[in-house]
């Protein structure tokens, strides 16, 4: 493969440009109108979103984003950009030893914010990229996240009058490098399976209607749960296992059990700390930081035991995360 002919995109949902209510509203309008996300037909949902939901939610969500914002900006943008830079450097090192193509470009792109797919694809086209590998950064694939990113990629590419060869890596939970990295992060955080502490594994939920239409996400999260437990030397039932981030007023329409319900049942039980690991999220964001530090902690604090909470960070821009990406790409380099 010639220099600068392969481009790799790490894709994700996105984030507001800032925690300001107007920026949050602009982001949520794009995100919640996505066909893979919106729960109602377009006309009815658009009216409800613009007149009922966003006028209030932009302030509530803005306050939450303010809690997780860093001096450099959104954690999602910062960490994912760093990961892309480190992965590109690692691939260039492999290329020097003939183990990867030379001149590979790696970029971060978001479906509903900057850096956008439009920005990245225009750069790739200008630089003569002829092959693209898209990696949505969701280890377990599902319609409402993975396919939403893939769809946005294709929507952006289609009108560009350019026809690169496209490959999509739509899941990578089965790679042992991924399981090893999750388990390593659990141990590094101080969790000991032989102690009286508990481990809570929580994934983003999806609508049950998606499962009826063939989404295999539950099987993938089940396999992740089992593999992590085995690697830790535990039985799967010894690890709390639930789903979070349901949207709307009908949680019964979402994949469960819900993490909040499990935690509520733990609140008065006598044991040590609660360690939270979120293996379905590759990069820290609102759901991994705010939900754990505020929502989940508050549920546990409602009981008499007042359990201490430890949030295990996502893999972010770690060296282990780079190794996972390289493992997912290996067959494309051979």
Query: Could you say which DSSP state residue 313 is in?
Result: P
Per-residue pLDDT reduced to its tens digit, 99-132: 999 999 999 999 999 999 999 999 999 999 999 9
- Asked whether the beta carbons of 273 and 310 are under 8 A apart, the reply is yes
Domain boundaries, the chain: 21-68, 176-311
Q: Provide the whole-model pTM.
A: 0.94
E-strand stretches of 213-307: 240-244, 274-277
- List, in order, residues 6 or more apart from 238 with CB less than 8 Å away: 193, 229
**Chain-wide mean pLDDT for the chain?**
93
pLDDT score for 33:
80
CA–CA separation, 282 vs 296, rounded Å?
A: 19
Per-residue pLDDT reduced to its tens digit, 73-87: 999 999 999 999 999
Per-residue pLDDT reduced to its tens digit, 269-325: 999 999 999 999 999 999 999 999 999 999 998 877 688 999 999 999 999 999 999
**Class for domain 176-311, per CATH?**
alpha beta
pLDDT band for position 4 (cuts 50, 70, 90): low
- List, in order, residues 6 or more apart from 250 with CB less than 8 Å away: none
Average pLDDT over residues 208-214: 94
Q: Is the four-CA dihedral 123, 70, 328, 174 of positive or negative sign?
A: negative
Opening angle at CA 253, ends 45 and 199, nearest 5: 120
């Amino acid at each position: 493969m010639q220099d600068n002919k392969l481009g790799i995109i790490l894709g994700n949902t996105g984030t507001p440009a800032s925690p300001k209510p107007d920026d949050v509203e602009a982001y949520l309008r794009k995100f919640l109108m996505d066909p893979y996300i919106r729960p109602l037909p377009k006309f009815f949902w658009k009216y409800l979103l613009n007149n009922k939901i966003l006028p209030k939610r932009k302030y509530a969500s803005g306050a939450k984003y303010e809690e997780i914002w860093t001096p450099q900006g959104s954690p999602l943008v910062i960490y994912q950009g760093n990961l892309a830079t480190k992965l590109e450097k690692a691939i260039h090192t492999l290329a020097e030893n003939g183990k990867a193509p030379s001149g590979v470009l790696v970029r971060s792109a978001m479906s509903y914010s900057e850096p956008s797919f439009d920005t990245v694809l225009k750069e790739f086209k200008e630089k003569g990229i002829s092959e693209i590998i898209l990696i949505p950064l969701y280890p377990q694939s599902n319609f409402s996240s993975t396919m939403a990113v893939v769809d946005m990629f294709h929507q952006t590419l289609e009108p560009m009058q350019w026809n690169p060869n496209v490959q999509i890596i739509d899941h990578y939970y089965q790679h042992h490098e991924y399981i090893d990295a999750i388990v390593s992060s659990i141990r590094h955080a101080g969790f000991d399976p032989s102690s009286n502490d508990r481990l809570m594994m929580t994934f983003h939920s999806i609508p049950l209607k998606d499962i009826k239409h063939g989404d295999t996400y539950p099987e993938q999260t089940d396999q992740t749960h089992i593999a992590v437990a085995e690697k830790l030397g535990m039985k799967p039932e010894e690890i709390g296992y639930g789903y979070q981030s349901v949207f709307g007023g009908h949680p019964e329409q979402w994949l469960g059990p819900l993490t909040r319900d499990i935690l509520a049942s733990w609140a008065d039980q006598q044991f040590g700390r609660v360690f939270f690991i979120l293996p379905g999220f590759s990069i820290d964001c609102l759901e991994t930081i705010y939900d754990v530090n505020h929502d989940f902690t508050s549920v546990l604090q409602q009981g008499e035991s007042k359990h201490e909470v430890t949030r295990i960070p996502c893999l972010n821009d770690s060296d282990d995360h780079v190794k996972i990406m390289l493992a997912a790409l290996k067959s494309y380099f051979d």
